[in-house]
Amino acid sequence: NHDIIMRLHLVFEIYDGLYHIDMPDEKLYDLVLKIDDSNFRKIIPYIIYFMLRHAGVMFDPCSCANCSSEEDLYTVTKDGIFCSVCSADLSLTSCCDKESSYIIKCFGHSQLYRNLTVNRKQELQVLAALCAYAEQVLEKPLKSTKTVFEII
């Protein structure tokens, strides 16, 4: 499927920036093997989250990046997820709507994430947020981001 292949370019570019050649990861391999036509919109963002978390660079999706609050986490930026109070105080603009922010928040709760449905709009917003964060972590732009967003 062309949709899956385009998204995998993004996954492998992030993988290349985070992992060393001698760092096998059975769980990541299993996740990639689970991708199919029915789940790619949901599993690709999770795989990117998983790689960032496994590399030790992912923000905590369950607490505010500024004050550590676990309430009202709806503002997602290239710096992490923020509560409504910090978002207002810091004049932050979210790259996701509330539903897509909730999807990112659910990354930290596998049971909640497992029960979610992710549509195209939400997938694009979540991928945009994760890619912006990955670019900051990797300290370079992701070449495949533009292509992926133009095609999907």
Q: Which pLDDT value is given to residue 20?
A: 80
For residues 104 and 76, the answer to whether their CB atoms sit within 8 Å is: yes
| pLDDT over 90 (residue 5) | yes
Please, are residues 42 and 116 in contact by the beta-carbon 8 Å criterion? Answer: yes
pLDDT, position 84? 94
Token look-up 């030790």 returns 56
What pLDDT sits at residue 25?
82
Read off the pLDDT of residues 126-152 as tens digits, 9 standing for 90 and up: 999 999 999 999 999 999 998 888 887
Mean pLDDT estimate for the chain: 93
User: For the segment 27-50, what is each residue's pLDDT rounded down to a tens digit?
Assistant: 999 999 999 999 999 999 999 999
As a whole number, mean pLDDT of residues 79-83 equals: 95
Residue 52 burial (CB < 10 Å; 0-12/13-18/19+)?
Answer: buried
Q: Three-state SS for 74?
A: strand
Structure tokens at 92: 């932050």
pLDDT of residue 122: 96
pLDDT at residue 22, as a whole number: 73
Global pTM value:
0.92
Contact 63, 73 (CB under 8 A): yes
What is the C-alpha to C-alpha distance for residues 43 and 11, in angstroms, rounded to an integer? 11
Residue where the block lists tokens 């070449």: 143
Q: Is the pLDDT of residue 88 over 80?
A: yes
Burial of 126 (0-12, 13-18, 19+ CB in 10 A): buried
